[in-house]
Copies of this chain bind each other. A is one copy, B any other.
C-alpha cells in the first residue's frame, strides 16, 4: 500500500485524487487545503483538513498548488521522512531541497474542471534527488499511466516551454479559426476534421515534412490576399509572423515586403 498525502485542492489535485482513488493499492491518507469549499470534492472518499501543520505521515507528499505557493506550503513538510514532490512544469526540483527526500511528479497534460482525462495516456515526468525515490515515483506513476519518463529539471523547463507552443498557442489559433468562421456564419465543426488530421499526420510524418500552405511554398500572392482579408490587426500580425517563420525555415524568403 502506497500512502499518499495530497496538498492542494485545484484542478490537478482533483484529477490526481480521482485517479489515485481508483487504485486499490494507493491509500490517500489526507487532502490538505485552505479552501473548505474546494475540499468538498475530496470529502466523499478521503480525510480532508485545512491544517497544514498537522499533516499525517505518508510515503509520498504530493504538493499540487500554484508555482508561487510551493515554497510556503513545503515549509510545513520539513520534518517528515517521506518523499516530498511538487507537480509543476516550471519549478526546479531544488525548490524542495530543504527536505530530507524530494522530487518532482509532473503530469504533462492540461487539466480542465469537470472534464475527464484518460490518465493512462498522460506522460508523467519524474525526477528525484535519490535513485531509490525515483523508483518509488515510477511505481506510483506506473499505477496511473503507461507513459512514465525520467525528466531532469532542465528538460522539464524546456518541456513546459514546448507545451506553451503546442497547447496554449495552438488553442489560440483554433480560436482565431473559430472567430473567422463565426463572422461568416460558418460552424466551427467544419474545421475540426482538418485540425484532427493535422495532428494525426504527426504520428506518421515529422511536422517539418508535413508542412503545407502558402508560406511553405513561398506563395506570396495568396499570402497577400489573406492579409487583405484579415481585419483584426493582431491576427494579421500572427499571420505575418507565422508565415515569416515558416518561410525562413524552408528557405522561402520570397516576399521581403511583408516581413
Contacts and interface: CB of A to CB of B under 8 A. Distances in A.
A interface majority secondary structure: helix
A25 to B, nearest CB: 24
Contacts of A178: 162, 206-208
Interface stretch (A79-87, A109-117, A126-134): A109-117
Interface in A32-80: none
A118 to B, nearest CB: 8
Among A169, A176, A215, A249: residue with most chain B CB under 10 A: A169
Contacts of A239: 164-165, 169
Interface stretch (A16-24, A93-101, A135-143, A225-233): A225-233
Given A184-B158, A201-B110, A235-B245, A191 B175 contact: no
A212 interface: yes
A233 B242 CA distance: 13
A181 interface: yes
B112 A210 contact: yes
Interface string A211-254: 11111100000100110011000110111011011101100000
A176 B165 contact: yes
Interface string A157-196: 1110111111111111111111011011110101111111
A174 B108 contact: no
A122 interface: yes
Nearest to A240: B241
Nearest to A154: B184
B186 A158 contact: yes
Given A197-B109, A202-B192, A175 B238 contact: no
B158 A181 contact: yes
7 contacts: A112-B210, A117-B197, A155-B184, A155-B186, A165-B173, A167-B195, A172-B245
Interface of A: 90, 108-110, 112, 115, 117, 121-123, 125, 147, 149, 151, 154-155, 157-159, 161-178, 180-181, 183-186, 188, 190-199, 201-208, 210-216, 222, 225-226, 229-230, 234-235, 237-239, 241-242, 244-246, 248-249
